[in-house]
Amino acid sequence: MARDDIPTDERLDLRLERTIDAPRALIWKAWTEPEHVKRWWAPAPWTTVDCRIDLRPGGIFRTVMRSPEGQDFPHETCLIELVENERIVFTSALAPGYRPAAEHLGDDCTGIPFTAIVTFTERAGKTHYSAVVLHKDEAGRRRHEELGFHEGWGTCADQLIELVRRLRR
């Protein structure tokens, strides 16, 4: 039931694939139980101080990330589709209960509307992890930029370098 048929746009969307050496039931658990999610959701030195998951379509998937300065960033998304051990689909475009979400105005990463389709497929005792993250249109992206995403080339370059360094670790 891989969802490779979802149309994506490489300027806007992300596709991540990875084979993980763990049974998919364990990965499902890590993704769907708050006490586990809290352990890996935020990048250090940020922490995830709260997580609430109501594991049903229309249910809440909420995280609160705390910055190193102690500021909290709550983020609520709506679960859309759940197939145990197989697939989890959620979006920030809807609030829990399917109510259309308010406009996102945050200038941090969590303020960007997205729909994530995360699929786990068993392959010889390992799990093939696939995530497709769909973003809104160019207009949404530009607005996001206007909201002050850019603080000068130096900051951008440094941030990107830091992120790449973290990815390579």
Partner 1 sequence: MTNQPTSLDRVFHALSDPTRRAIVSRLSRGPASVSELAKPFAMAMPTLLQHLKVLEESRVIRSEKVGRVRTCEIEPGALGRAETWIARQRAVWEGRLDRMEAYVAGLQSEATQGKEKKHGKR
Residues of this chain that bind partner 1 (CB under 8 A): 10-12, 14, 16, 18, 20-23, 26-27, 29-31, 36, 39-41, 43, 109, 112, 114, 116, 129, 131, 133, 135, 141, 144-145, 149-150, 153-154, 156-161, 163-169
- Minimum separation from the CB atom of position 99 to partner 1 (A): 25
- Minimum separation from the CB atom of position 52 to partner 1 (A): 18
Task: Let me know: does 101 contact 93? Beta carbons within 8 Å.
Answer: yes
The first and second tokens of residue 104, run together, are: 């996102």
Please identify, using beta-carbon distances, which residue of 72 and 162 lies nearer to partner 1. Answer: 162
* Amino acid identity, position 50: D
CA 104 and chain centroid, separation:
15
The first and second tokens of residue 11, run together, are: 């300027």
Please identify, using beta-carbon distances, which residue of 70 and 154 lies nearer to partner 1. Answer: 154
- Minimum separation from the CB atom of position 74 to partner 1 (A): 16
Please identify, using beta-carbon distances, which residue of 80 and 116 lies nearer to partner 1. Answer: 116
- Minimum separation from the CB atom of position 157 to partner 1 (A): 4
- The alpha carbon dihedral of 157, 72, 118, 13 has a sign of negative
Please identify, using beta-carbon distances, which residue of 99 and 142 lies nearer to partner 1. Answer: 142
Beta carbons within 10 angstroms of residue 102's beta carbon: 7
Nearest to 93 by CA among 145, 138, 133: 133
